Structure 1
Amino acid sequence: PYYGTRPREGEKPGLWLVGDEGVYIMSNGKLAEGSRALVVYAGQCHPRGDGDWWDYKRRHFGADDGIEFIEAERLIPLFGRNMSATHLNV
C-alpha cells in the first residue's frame, strides 16, 4: 500500500520531497509497525550538519513547511539512464 498525499486517496508509489526542519526525500510506502522512515537530506540542508540550512531551505523550498509528491513512474526512467548517478536533482 502506497499513499499519494492523503491516506486512501491517490495511492501510488513514489517519494515525498519534504520541507520541514531541513529539506529531504523519503518513501511514501507504508512502514512496518514500529519502524522509522529513512530520510535523505538535500545537500546543504541538514539541520545537524549545515549551519546555514535554514537560509538554504527558505531560498529553495520556501519559508513554510510542505510536501511535494513525486510519482515513482516519473523517477524510474531517470534511474535507468545513468546507473552511476549519485544525486537526484529536483
Structure 2
Amino acid sequence: MTFRFDSPATARRLFDDLRQLDDGTLDVSSVLAEAPTLSGYKLVLGWSHALCGTVHGHPRLQDGNKVVTSQLFFLDEQLGLARTMNRWYRLGGSGHRGH
C-alpha cells in the first residue's frame, strides 16, 4: 500500500516559507496583506495541532465559514500570523489558545 499525506510541492512551499521565516528573509508585511484572515480562532488538537475559526479572504472558501485548518506549523500571536500545511493565515481579533 502507498500513502502520501500531501503533495511534495505543498511540502516544499511550507519548508521554503519556514526557512525564509527562520533566516529573516520572509516579507511578513506582504504575507499579512495577502493571507486570508482567521478570526475568533483557537488552537485545537485532533490528529495534529490546527486552528479553528471564521475565515475571510480564502481563495476557495466562502467568507464567514467556520473552518478547521490543515496541520499547524507556526503560530505567532504577536505578529498575528500562522502557517499551516497549506497556507499562511492572518490572525484576526478575539483569538485565544485552547483545545
Q: TM-score normalized by structure 2?
A: 0.23
Larger radius of gyration: 1
Q: TM-score normalized by structure 1?
A: 0.24
Bigger share in strand = 2
